[in-house]
Copies of this chain bind each other. A is one copy, B any other.
Amino acid sequence: MSSTHLSIGDLSRATGTKVETIRFYEKNGLLPQPGRTQGNYRAYEPAHLNRLSFIRRARDLGFSLDQVRALLTLSDDRSHSCAAVDVIARAHRDEVERKIKDLQSLKTVLDQVIESCHCNIVADCAIIESLAPASQGS
């Protein structure tokens, strides 16, 4: 392998991505197919590393693979308006906001349920009671 080419392991180490995940991104059209060595090893260019870093960063920020694909396409069209980028980012932020709210009200209920358990045996357990619809007799 020439010094300008990177193996899949190099990309893996450089980005903290599992090798299988990199192949998965390729199979799913997020990462373009690289050239191959004589031994059929993938031989990446630095641009591949940049692209993979982009993907991972976007994934870290919680964007879906579909959103990442869209962001990549947009980022390739450098002269295009970035309005579409903004739309994707805001949609994602709104979703994160919704999830936070959902989890917060969930936690409130869980706190109440857990707090209410001052018992010893399951028959009297307020946690179990809070799950059961009525007196169970199965």
Contacts and interface: CB of A to CB of B under 8 A. Distances in A.
Interface string A2-18: 00000000000000000
Interface stretch (A19-27, A35-43, A122-130): A122-130
Interface of A is mostly: helix
Contact size class for A? 35 or more
Q: How many copies does the complex hold?
A: 2
B50 A122 contact: no
Interface string A78-97: 11111001100110110011
A125 B111 CA distance: 43
Interface of A: 45, 47-51, 53-54, 57-58, 61-62, 71, 74-82, 85-86, 89-90, 92-93, 96-97, 99-100, 103-104, 106-107, 109-111, 113-114, 117, 119-125, 127-128, 130-134, 136-138
